[in-house]
Amino acid sequence: MPISDARTSSHISTLSDDKRWQAVLAREASCDGQFVFAVRTTGIYCRPSCSSRLARRENVRFFATPLLAERAGFRACKKCHPRSAVRPIHPAVVATCQRIEHSSTPLTLDELAAEVGLTGPHLQRIFRRTLGVSPKQYALAERQQRLHQQLEAGASILDAMHASGARSTSQIYGPKSARSGLSPAERRRQAATTTLATIVAPTWLGSLAIAATERGIVAMELADSAAAAEQLLRKRFPRAAFVPASEQLTRWALLAVASIERPTQSVELPLDVQGTAFQRRVWQELQNIPAGATRTYQQIARAIGQPTAARAVGTACGKNPIAVAVPCHRAVTQSGRITGYRWGKDRKAKLLERESQP
């Protein structure tokens, strides 16, 4: 794609949030591809022309691209399919994002630019025009995401820093997290006091244990008994305080059970999952696979723009914390053989069999 095509997204930066909101209110189709808007209460992002019921302005965030919305934890609307409105992204930007996400150590702008055959300033310009952030800011967000995962799992700051790929504490203690404004020490203390509402419900697949924050569901675990399902939640969140389900979580649980009982019925659940940028892209793509269908790991890798990452896709499926609603059971090998499933291969086979029925 010629570089001039990437400049079409430069108009994004000239639109204020007020103008974007007016475009959403008018369902302005001419703005599709220029930005997306996300709704905090549902965890979904849409194109400006989406015909869904409008959210309250205070619950809406704007993003330059679907990629940035997904990095912030939102998932694509199944009604307006905002990804299909995306304008072509310069291949150098795609390659740079992939390099950053798979690098275990920080890379300089010049190193990134050399790998895509551009100068540093040139890469900086097209990257910022396309995504609204610099490669350095993108890399920082990626490191912080890895760091937060480790801290919230109870790791020490030094261990978490090592796992995130940061070379020094200054790379973490410098800019605060764009997501919460917390330092690593604060985030680790927060992890020790996280409160999760939980509920266990019976299903034909076994006991379904759900944990959630006020923002959405953080985990759905399946097991043979209620006690075993609850234990899986406690193992996943060893430092959290668990409280009985709120009315909101009870409603979400009813929807979750309905999605298991009637897999062909589309159910939107608000999710508050933590993962790397790559994992989130895989989990988002899994949600695009309709009930009754499967995709190979290679197909999923191609769908997210990383055709050589089939093995990493399999790993991301294994890290998925949301049973059934994020349908990693629909990911299969190239031969179609049913392989590992964190909630049991038998459950995976039963799910696929049930979803294949008319």
CA dist 41 to 77, 209, 306, Å? 13, 22, 31
- From the list 46, 50, 77, 317, the catalytic residue is 46
CATH superfamily of 90-192: Homeodomain-like (1.10.10.60)
Task: Return the pLDDT at 13.
Answer: 39
pLDDT at 8: 32
- Of the candidates 80, 97, 317, 328, the residue annotated as catalytic is 328
pLDDT of residue 123: 93
**Does 2.30.42.10 match the CATH number of domain 195-261?**
no
Does the active-site annotation cover 328? yes
77 is catalytic: no
What topology is assigned to 277-355 in CATH?
Arc Repressor Mutant, subunit A (1.10.10)
User: In which residue ranges of the chain is pLDDT below 50?
Assistant: 1-14, 157, 168-183, 186, 190
Helix axes 135-152, 157-164, angle to 10 degrees: 140
What pTM was computed for the model? 0.54
Q: Could you check whether 90-192 and 277-355 share the same CATH topology?
A: yes
Distances (CA, A) of 176 to 6, 70, 141, 186, 268: 30, 20, 10, 11, 32
pLDDT score for 179:
40
pLDDT at 133: 72
Please provide the CATH number assigned to the domain covering 3-85.
Answer: 3.40.10.10
**Where are the domains positioned within the chain?**
3-85, 90-192, 195-261, 277-355
Residue 312: in which H helix or E strand, if any?
helix 310-319
Contact 279, 70 (CB under 8 A): no
pLDDT at 294: 92
Residues 6+ apart with CB under 8 A from 123: 92, 96, 109, 112, 113, 116, 135
**The predicted structure's pLDDT at residue 147:** 64
- Residue 16 is predicted with a pLDDT of 74
pLDDT of residue 279: 84
